[in-house]
Amino acid sequence: MTDGLLELGISQAGALLRTGEISSRDLTRACLRQIETSDGLLHAFLTLTPEEALFRANRADFFFQQIRRGNHTEPLTPLLGIPLAIKDVLSLSGVRCTCGSRMLENYIPPFTAAAVDNVIEDGAVILGKTNTDEFAMGSSTENSAFGPSRNPWNPDHVPGGSSGGSAAAVASGMALGALGTDTGGSVRQPAAYCGITGLKPTYGRVSRWGLIAYGSSLDSVGCFAHSAEDAAILFETIAGFDPRDATSQDIPRPEINLDQVDGLQGLKIGIPQEYFIAGIQPDVEQAVRNTLHTFEALGVELVPISMPHTEYALPVYYIIAPAEASANLARYDSVRYGHYHAMPGYIEQYKHSRGEGFGPEVKRRIMLGTYALSAGYYDAYYGQAQKVRSLIRQDFDRAFTQVDAIAAPVAPTTAFKIGEHATDPLSMYLGDIFTLPANLAGVPGIAFPVGFDCNKLPIGMQLMGRHFQEELLLRMTHAYQRETNHHRLKPNAGIR
C-alpha cells in the first residue's frame, strides 16, 4: 500500500493506523522518500529531522500495538503517528529556526512553541521545518534568504507566502498536514495557490508563545491540510489558552463535530461588493461565484453586504505591520544571538551585522515602520492607521449582525510566476488585498480550493466568520467538500 500512502489525509491515515492496516513508520518513510524525490525542485523544507521523525513514528507504532493488545486504555489522539511539517518561524527545541533569514541562519532555540508542543504531545511526527519569506514578510516565499519554494502544480509559479513551504509540502504529499502563520493572509493565500485547505484562527485563539514575531497584533498560528475535516483535527490540537501569551484567550480547546448538523439550511453568507472588483482574474471570479451557487443549493442564503472601509485595509496594514516589525526586529543586535560581523565599535558592528543579516524586504519594512513610529509622524501615520483599523473592525461587526459568514476570493489572481513581481513590491502587496482585513479585525478565515484556471492552477475561496466561530467555517467548508472533489485532486507536474 506504500504508493497510496501519500494520497491519505490525516483522518484517513489515523483510521488505518488504529486498525494496524498501515504503520506510522511506513507512512513517515513514504513522506521522507517523497521529500527526497521532490524537494530538490520544490524547496519546501529548510531543515529536515528524519531520525527524530522515525523515532517518534516507532513510538507511535508501539503505542498502537499496546492498545490493540489491550495493554493500555488511554484514548488515542487523532494525530498519533501522523507526519507533519512546521513553518520555520515556530520554535522547535534543538532544531535550528531560521525564519528564512541569514540573521538567524544558525539559531537553535532551547524551547518549543506552544502550538508545536501541542501537536507533539498528541503524538504527531515532525518531519522538519519549512521554507518561509524572511521573518514571514512576503506573499510568495521569494523573500527567503535560502531561495524560493515552488508551486507543486507548476514549479515555474510561486506557492504563495509567507507559509509557502508548508503549503507546498502538503500539496505535494511530503507531509499530511502542516503548521503555518497568518499575519496578512500567509496561511489562506498559499492554501489557495496550492489547492489545499488553510485555516487562520481568531487572533488569540492559538498561543503565539514560541512564534518569532513579525506583527504582534496580527500574527496567528494556523494550519494546512487537504480538507476541512483534517484542518479541524489540527485546529482542535493547537487551540487553547496559554498563560505565557498575554493575548491568549481563556477559551477551552474546541471539540469539533463537523457532521453535527445535517445541511446548512438557515445560514447566511454575506457577499461584500468591495471584494468583487475590477481587476480580478475572470477565472477566479467565476469559480467563486459557482461555489456560492453550490452553497445556495445546500440551503445557504446569499446576502449582498457592504464593507465600506475595505479599500483602506492595504495602507493600514502596511503602516501597522511594519511598525510592529520595526519594534520586534530591533532585538537582533548581533550581541546576544543572530548574525555577527565583528567591527571596531558597537555602532559599526550593529550596522554591518544587521545590514548583512537582513534581506531587502525586511529592511524595507523596518524602514517603513521606523518612519511611521518616529517623532512628528506617529500621530499622522500609526495613530491614524489604528483609528481606521477600528472602522474596518466595525465593518465586520455590522456585517455579522446580518450574516453568519462572509465569502470572498482569497486573492485577485491564481499563483503568479516566480520573479513576476520582483521589481514591483506594490503589485506584490496588492495581492493581499482580500486577506488583510480579517487580520486587522482579528476574525477567523478559512481558504479552500474551488476550481482551476485555464492554466490548471488552483483557485481558492475564503470564508470569514465571527470571532471564535472556527467550527462554523470548518462545517460550512466540510459541507461544500462533501459535494465537490476539488480538494481531492493532486498535482502531477512531475511531482508525484
3-state secondary structure of 227: coil
Q: Is 162 a catalytic residue?
A: yes
Q: Is 186 a catalytic residue?
A: yes
Residue 240 backbone zone (phi > 0: left; psi -120 to 50: alpha; other: beta): left
What is the pLDDT at residue 493? 45
Residue type, 240: G
What is the pLDDT at residue 496? 47
| Dihedral (Cα; 353, 357, 359, 361), 10-degree rounding | -70
- Closest to 254 measured CA to CA, from 268, 238, 274: 238
The tally of CA atoms less than 13 A away on the side-chain side of residue 60 is 33
Q: What is the CA radius of gyration of the chain?
A: 22
Which domains are assigned to the chain?
A: 2-265+446-488 (3.90.1300.10)
CB atoms within 10 A of CB 108: 13
What is the pLDDT at residue 3? 59
Concatenating the DSSP letter of every residue in 438-492 gives HHHHT--EEEEEEEE-TTS-EEEEEEEESTT-HHHHHHHHHHHHHH--GGG----
Catalytic residue among 24, 162, 163, 248: 162
Q: Which three cell numbers mark 433?
A: 488585498
- pLDDT tens digits, 65-109: 998 888 877 778 999 999 999 999 999 999 999 999 999 999 999
What is the pLDDT at residue 495? 47
Q: Is 11 a catalytic residue?
A: no
**Strands 83-87 vs 45-48: parallel, antiparallel or unpaired:** unpaired
Catalytic residue among 23, 24, 38, 87: 87
Q: How many residues appear in the chain? A: 496
Catalytic residue among 38, 149, 172, 186: 186
CB atoms within 10 A of CB 17: 24
What is the pLDDT at residue 155? 97
What is the pLDDT at residue 69? 87
- Closest to 179 measured CA to CA, from 252, 256, 91, 247: 91
Q: Would you say 152 and 495 are in contact if contact means Cβ atoms under 8 Å apart?
A: yes
Q: Could you tell me the mean pLDDT of each successive run of 10 residues in the chain, 496 residues long?
A: 80 96 98 97 98 98 91 86 98 98 96 98 98 98 98 98 98 98 98 98 98 98 98 98 97 86 87 94 98 97 98 97 97 86 86 94 97 94 97 98 98 97 88 96 98 97 98 97 96 59
User: Taking the mean position of all CA atoms in its chain, how far away is CA 43?
Assistant: 17
